[in-house]
Each structure stands twice: as C-alpha cells, then as structure tokens.
Amino acid sequence: MKNIEPLFSKNNLKLITNPISKDNPITVQVIGICSALAVTAQIKPAVIMTFSVMFVLALSNVIISFLRKTIPSRIRIIVQLTVVASLVIIVNELLKAYFFDVSKQLSVFVGLIITNCIIMGRLEAFALTNKPWLAFLDGIGNSLGYGVLLIIVSFFRELLGSGTIWGFQVIPECFYNLGYENNGLMILPPMALITIGIIIWIQRSKNKNLIEEK
C-alpha cells in the first residue's frame, strides 16, 4: 500500500511559506495589485480585506479543486466566476452586518475581489490541477503573502500619513508642538504605488535571484 503523506508534511508546508516571501503574489507573481493599493491607507481595512480574500480564496480553491474533473475547459472561466461571485456575496453581507463602517470604507473593493487576479490566477494555476487539501493550503498561503504585504504598506502609510496605528495616536502631541506635521501625501493614491516600488527594491536587493534580466 502506498504511504499516505501526513497532512502537514514538509512539502505541504512549503505551499504556505513560499508565497509569504520568495513567491509573494504581489511583488513576485504580480497578481492582486489593484486592491493592495486601494485599501492600504489605514491598517484596519487592510486587515479586514486580508481576511475576506483569505476566506474567498481558500474556499473557492477547494470548491474548484473538487470540481476540477467535471468542469469542461471551455466554460471554466464562467464556472469559476460564479463560484467566486457567490462567495464574495457572502463576505459582503457579513461585512455589512458586523463591520458596517469598514465595509463603507472598502466600498466597491469588496465586490472587486471577484475579479482580483489573485483569485483567478491561483484557480487557474493551482486548483485546476491539484487535490482539495493542497489547494486549501495554497489558498491560505497566498492570501497570507498578500496580507503581509498589505499590512506592511498600510503600516507605513498610516504612521506617516496620519500619525496613528489601528486608529490610536502613536506620535505624541509634543512632536506636533515642535513643528512636526503629518505627511498628507502618504494617504493619497500615488504614495501607495511608490511604497510598493520601494518594497520590491528592498526585497530584490536581498534576494538576488528575483532580479529581472535586462
């Protein structure tokens, strides 16, 4: 009889740890960027967005992986979109019920999880060819990698832009009295792009393998 691989074997754990650093969905695979930029002006919406994406990605990965042998390949995109859209509707209703203010802040970006390339990308690249448990781990890993980047970006944007972290004032009043001012530009869209650019710069100077050929 064939040996059954333990649920958390080394290879399986790699599915979770790789996307966090050297195979990060945003800085290396370049998927899921739209929402990463738009929800990162503060930490709280970024964290909630991460959990929403984690829920949708892990579950849709599992569902598509269960269905992978029955979906005709010509209509697979429509099937995937339907599964993802139903999961996103659940998330949207839950957010409206329990986190109404954050759901107002995220506005259309909860709906845009449907066309977030991170979801379609992982469904196409992984769930269609792998078993449900592996697909589940892949979903969790990729959404963690996405979340780590979102939290780093939103940490700097909130700290420098409004002097707060998770809504609490961290820069003391006496700094402001001495003439320190919040950098309003950090809250605006352009600095999100530049912050990610700088993160990519730092990551690639540490990990030379990721540098692109000329």
Partner 1 sequence: MENLFNIFVKSIFVDNLVFSTFLGMCSYLAVSKTVKTSTGLGIAVVFVLTITVPVNYLLENYILKQGALSWLNSSFADVDLSFLSFIMFIAVIASMVQLVEMIIEKYSPTLYSQLGIFLPLIAVNCAILGGSLFMQQKQFNTIGEATVYGFGSGIGWLFAIITLAAIREKLTYSNVPAPLRGLGITFIVTGLMAMAFMGFMGIKL
Contacts with partner 1 by CB under 8 A lie at 27, 30-35, 37-38, 77-78, 81-82, 85-86, 88-89, 92-93, 107-108, 111-112, 114-117, 120, 188-194, 196-198, 200-205, 210-212, 214
Q: How many CB atoms lie within 10 A of CB 132?
A: 16
Measured from the CB of residue 192, what is the shortest distance to partner 1 in angstroms? Answer: 8
Tokens of 14: 């790699």
What is the DSSP track for 107-166? Answer: THHHHTTTT-HHHHHHIIIIITTS-HHHHHHHHHHHHHHHHHHHHHHHHHHHHHHHSEET
Measured from the CB of residue 144, what is the shortest distance to partner 1 in angstroms? Answer: 20
Measured from the CB of residue 184, what is the shortest distance to partner 1 in angstroms? Answer: 11
**55 closest CA partner among 130, 152, 146:** 146
Buried-state track 37-76, b at ≥16 Cβ within 10 A, e below 16: bbbbbbbbbbbbbbebbbbbbbbbbbbbbebbeebeeeeb
Q: Is 163:182 a contact under the CB 8 Å cutoff?
A: yes
Measured from the CB of residue 76, what is the shortest distance to partner 1 in angstroms? Answer: 12
Residue 70, SS3? Answer: coil
Residue (73 or 177) nearer to partner 1, CB: 73
Measured from the CB of residue 126, what is the shortest distance to partner 1 in angstroms? Answer: 16
